[in-house]
């Protein structure tokens, strides 16, 4: 049981709560879920949550991936037809990243969110939720709008009710989902549903150093980018010398490369210190902060390693054109 917990807990920012998660993992097949708006390219920011779903699968959980077409529509991401085409591409991306298609249930939001009982639960939650609380739970961009659409205020309530109607035990998401997850934990019991355990994953900074990797900002590495594209993007990325905090290249090494490959290989000439094999995040941070690893060398190593991590994804898409 402890091995299962360690597998699910690794690489997380927080778990609410660890005690509840330990109890859940005693169940034969707890249900874990993560929701994704079908919009834009799938990138490494998405890949972290997908990897956590893979970990949960390995720990015995049933996994649901919600391709939230109606949420994307409410968020003005295109027509429903366009959004559903992107959702199918996203499904293939998640399988390419390691989810077992035979043990993963892929659902569109419109498969269940248009049912009367779902709408009734959203209204029941709306009665018990202040406008301020709903706004605080909105997506980061919409949260700061002076005059948001009514649809954007409904969005977090729908997200919370998703967890009830999918019978979710564990909700996985980036740490930016914390507020809406707390709404679900607080409000769902009052509607007669159990509160989900919440597993939060760190957010990756964008290539430009912005607070979040995002397809809408163009500051991302897509999982179907080729090796040359990846290495060129990393070469141009924000990576200040000796600065570890909020350095995207350090983050990509720590949260993507080291968990996947167990080490980061740095090739450099003897006159620049010779080759390095870095086996842990603490070692990487120490070397970089001390100036013993130059940004150019770090970028070259991380770019090559990220391309290696994505090799199975490229093979998948070659086999499924």
Render pLDDT for 275-292 as a digit per residue (tens, 0 to 9): 999 999 999 999 999 999
189 and 262 inside one domain? no
Whether 57 and 92 share a structural domain: yes
- Domain residue limits at 290: 227-319
225 vs 238: CA distance, rounded Å: 19
Q: Rounded to whole angstroms, how far apart are CA atoms 198 and 213?
A: 22
Residues 161 and 263 occupy one common structural domain? no
The residue to which tokens 């406008």 are assigned: 131
User: What's the number of domains the chain is made of?
Assistant: 2
284: phi > 0 → left, psi -120 to 50 → alpha, else beta; which? alpha
CA angle 27, 171, 5 (to 5 degrees): 50
Quickly tell me which residue has 């995207």 as its tokens: 248
The percent of residues in the chain predicted with pLDDT above 70, rounded, is 97
Mean model confidence pLDDT for the chain: 93
Residue 218 pLDDT > 90: no
* 195 and 263 share one domain: no
Stretch (H or E) spanning 63? strand 62-67
Same domain, 256 and 188: no
Q: What is the pLDDT of residues 153-167, one digit of tens each?
A: 888 899 999 999 999
Residue 71 reports pLDDT greater than 60: yes
CATH number, position 67: 3.40.50.620
Position 224 confidence tier, pLDDT thresholds 50, 70, 90? very high
Rounded CA separation 35/90 (Å): 12
Q: Are 199 and 172 in contact (CB under 8 A)?
A: yes
| Same domain, residue pair 25 and 77 | yes
Q: How far apart are the first and last CA of the chain?
A: 40
What Rg value do the Cα atoms of the chain yield, rounded?
A: 20
Nearby residues of 321 by Cβ (< 8 Å), 6 or more positions away:
none
**What are the pLDDT digits (tens) for 20-63?**
999 999 988 999 999 999 977 999 999 999 999 999 999 999 99
Q: Check residue 134 and give its pLDDT.
A: 73
121: in domain: yes
Let me know whether 9 and 150 are in one domain.
Answer: yes
Say which residue the tokens 């080291």 belong to: 258
Task: Tell whether 75 is covered by a domain.
Answer: yes
Mind listing the pLDDT tens digit for each residue in 164-211? 999 999 999 999 999 999 999 999 999 999 999 999 999 999 999 987
Q: Are residues 50 and 90 in the same domain?
A: yes
Q: What is the pTM of this model?
A: 0.92
Output the domain CATH number for residue 265: 1.10.240.10
Pair 125, 169 in one domain = yes
| Chain centre distance of CA 83 | 19
Q: If you write DSSP's letter for every residue of 212-270 in order, what string do you get?
A: S--TTTT---BTT--HHHHHHHHHTS---TT--TT-HHHHHIIIIIHHHHS-EEE---G
Average pLDDT over residues 7-12: 96
Q: Do 190 and 281 fall within a single domain?
A: no
Residues 184 and 247 in one domain: no
138 and 279 together in one domain = no
Contacts of 120-126 spanning 24+ positions with Cβ under 8 A: 121/161, 121/164, 121/165, 121/191, 122/154, 122/157, 122/158, 122/161, 124/191, 125/157, 125/160, 125/161, 125/187, 125/191, 126/154, 126/157
pLDDT digits (tens, 9 = 90+) for 86-132: 999 999 999 999 999 999 999 999 999 999 999 999 999 999 888 77
Q: Can you give the pLDDT at residue 143?
A: 53
């Amino acid at each position: 049981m402890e091995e299962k917990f360690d597998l699910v807990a690794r690489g997380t920012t927080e778990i609410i709560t660890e005690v509840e998660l330990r109890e859940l993992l005693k169940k034969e097949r707890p249900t874990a879920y993560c929701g994704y708006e079908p919009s834009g390219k799938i990138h490494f920011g998405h890949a972290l949550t997908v990897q956590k779903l893979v970990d949960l699968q390995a720990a015995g959980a049933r996994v649901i991936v919600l391709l939230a077409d109606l949420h994307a529509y409410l968020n003005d991401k295109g027509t429903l037809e366009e959004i559903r085409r992107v959702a199918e591409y996203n499904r293939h991306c998640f399988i390419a990243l390691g989810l077992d298609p035979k043990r993963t249930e892929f659902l569109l939001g419109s498969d269940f969110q248009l049912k009367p009982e779902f709408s009734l639960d959203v209204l029941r939650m709306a009665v018990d939720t202040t406008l301020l609380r709903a706004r605080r739970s909105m997506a980061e961009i919409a949260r700061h709008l002076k005059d948001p659409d009514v649809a954007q205020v409904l969005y977090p309530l729908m997200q919370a009710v998703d967890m009830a109607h999918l019978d979710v035990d564990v909700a996985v998401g980036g740490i930016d989902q914390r507020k809406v997850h707390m709404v679900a934990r607080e409000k769902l019991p009052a509607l007669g549903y159990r509160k989900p355990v919440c597993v939060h994953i760190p957010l990756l900074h964008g290539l430009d150093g912005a607070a979040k990797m995002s397809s809408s900002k163009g500051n991302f590495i897509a999982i179907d980018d080729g090796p040359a594209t990846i290495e060129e993007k990393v070469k141009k990325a924000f990576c200040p010398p000796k600065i570890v905090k909020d350095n995207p290249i350090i983050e990509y090494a720590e949260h993507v490369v080291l968990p996947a490959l167990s080490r980061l290989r740095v090739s450099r000439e003897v006159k620049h210190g010779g080759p390095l094999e870095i086996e842990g995040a603490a070692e990487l941070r120490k070397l970089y902060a001390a100036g013993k690893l130059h940004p150019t060398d770090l970028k070259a190593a991380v770019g090559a390693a990220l391309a290696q991590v994505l090799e199975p994804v490229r093979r998948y898409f070659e086999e499924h054109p």
